[in-house]
Amino acid sequence: MNISNLQLNHTYKNYKQLCEVLEMPMKGGNAKKAQLKELERYFKYNKEGNKFIITHIYKVPLPKNNNKTQYISEIAKLILDKAVHQNNRGKLFISKSKLMSELRMVNENYAYAKYKQLRLAKHMNITIEEVEEFYLTSDDLLKRNIEAALNSLRSQSLIFWSHAMTLCVIETEAETNMNFDIKVNKYEHVNEFQEESTVFEASQPVSYRTYRKATDEEIELVLQVERDVLLKYKCDTVNDIYKRKLNKKFYKDVNDILMEHSNIHRYYNSYEIICNEKYIYSKWEELQDLQLGIEERETSMNNLNKGVMDRINTNVENRHNKAIDMINNDDVDNKQRVERRSNKKYKTNGFQLTDTLINKDALSLEEPFEKMLIKK
């Protein structure tokens, strides 16, 4: 791109001529929109039909949009505030879903409806495919956001973080059950919305579910079972499982074997976060600046919630626009997905899902969901 060729107050008859003057390639669809947005860092222009009228040329280009940086910084600030809180004393062991909820990146409906997706689809009168895609894309986005914030804090030597496996273990009241010698039996019920509920029974009363970090031996057991089930489905990787849409069957098989072997009901990834202990305890007065006041914390979480909503809705709109550009292309990999995304209801439904599952002010789904199970 050569801005020096541009003339102030000059009118360029169309996009093609503007590209020729700036010595840049012509693009289409969302790539063209992004290109024109980037040009606004270098000059201002007015549009009259196809014409571009140059009204101002910046001597120094404007900085790139820093919304993403600000968005990640908000997450980092809230994570650090949570970690240095007196009750946590510089250490956190927390799941992704709990962290998202406690930072107000999502509302309570997000976790509640995640395993009730068919009910959610019927309640909102949208397709199950749209609900599944919303969770898949938003989970991926929010995970990347959290880990970008954690990496930012790590680069400042404020924390060290890592993934850790968490187990949900079914315990019994017997003290002799340390090696799982008392077998716990699992009974499952599937309702009309294909949602599973689980009851546990044992020779000694089931006391509670324990959530804790897995030991090295337990991690090895999980890996062995996962590998065996991968081979059963003739898949090389877990990604292959998801591509073939076998993930529900895969994890049910894995969890059933773990339950049979070691009373492990399920497992998932958590974040283990350790703060700079010397910085925290030897410089506590300085650290007070890292702890947010109640009002500031509320403002920060509310801003983050709005930022997440805006980001997810922007992504929904981008997928919709991209699908419209591709709808007449016979070479697309997934024609059915492109057709679904190009539908005019796709964007509206996506925005409604954001409002229901992300918006901090959304109404609870618990009561309407329970009413859906009442037989007439």
Q: Are 10 and 4 in contact (CB under 8 A)?
A: no
Which residue shows structure tokens 């199970």?
A: 373
Query: 114 and 134: one domain?
Result: yes
Structure confidence at residue 175 (pLDDT): 46
Q: Does one domain contain both 283 and 139?
A: yes
Q: Do 154 and 282 share a domain, yes or no?
A: yes
pLDDT of residue 335: 82
Q: How far apart are CA 326 and CA 344, in angstroms?
A: 14
Q: Are residues 282 and 372 in the same domain?
A: yes
Is residue 166 domain-resident?
no
Residue 332 clears pLDDT 60, i.e. is over it:
yes
- The predicted model gives 129-143 an average pLDDT of 95
Whether residue 169 lies inside any domain: the answer is no
Note whether residue 263 is domain-resident. Answer: yes
- Is residue 255 domain-shared with residue 329, that is, in the same domain? no
Which position has the higher pLDDT, 294 or 17?
17
pLDDT above 70 covers a percentage of the chain that reads 83
pLDDT tens across 246-279, in order? Answer: 998 999 999 999 998 888 999 999 999 998 766 6
Domain holding 107, by residue range, is 66-158+276-376
Question: Do 249 and 103 reside in the same domain of the chain?
Answer: no
**What is the pLDDT at residue 82?**
87
**Is residue 45 in a domain?**
yes
Average pLDDT, the chain: 85
List pLDDT tens digits, range 228-249: 999 999 999 999 998 898 998 9
| Boundary-marking domain end, from 206, 236, 268 | 268
* 304 has pLDDT over 60: yes
Residues 295 and 149 reside in one and the same domain: yes
Domain end, chosen from 268, 303, 320, is at 268
Secondary structure string (H, E, C) spanning the chain: CCHHHCCCCCEECCHHHHHHHHCCCCCCHHHHHHHHHHHCCCEEEEEECCEEEEEEECCCCCCCCCHHHHHHHHHHHHHHHHHCCCCCCCEEEEEHHHHHHHCCCCCHHHHHHHCCHHHHHHHHCCCHHHHHHHHHHHHHHHHHHHHHHHHHHHHCCCEEEEEEEEEEEEEECCHHHHHCCCCEEEEEEECCCCCEEEEEEECCCEEEEEEEECCHHHHHHHHHHHHHHHHHCCCCCHHHHHHCCCHHHHHHHHHHHHHHHHCEEEEEEEEEEEECHHHHHHCHHHHHHHCCCHHHHHHHHHHHHHHHHHHHHHHHHHHHHHHHHHCCCCCCCCHHHHHHHHCHHHHHHHHHHHHHHCCCCCCCCHHHHHHHCCCC
In a domain? residue 168: no
14 and 148, same domain (yes or no): no
* Minimum mean pLDDT range among 234-243, 250-259, 351-360, 366-375: 366-375
Judge whether residue 179 has pLDDT over 50: no
Q: Are residues 147 and 191 in the same domain?
A: no
In a domain, 293, yes or no: yes
Instruction: Specify whether 363 is located in the same domain as 298.
Output: yes
Residues 45 and 71 in one domain: no
> What pLDDT was estimated at residue 187?
63
Q: What integer pLDDT is reported at residue 24 of this predicted model? A: 92
Q: What is the pLDDT of residues 5-38, one digit of tens each?
A: 999 889 999 999 999 999 999 998 888 988 998 8
* 281 and 369 together in one domain: yes
In a domain, 165, yes or no: no
Number of structural domains (the chain) is: 3
Give domain status of residue 264, yes or no.
yes
Integer Cα distance of 284 and 256 in angstroms: 48
Over the stretch 115-134, which tens digit does the pLDDT of each residue have? Answer: 999 999 999 999 999 999 99
Q: Which of 211, 242, 268 is the last residue of a domain?
A: 268
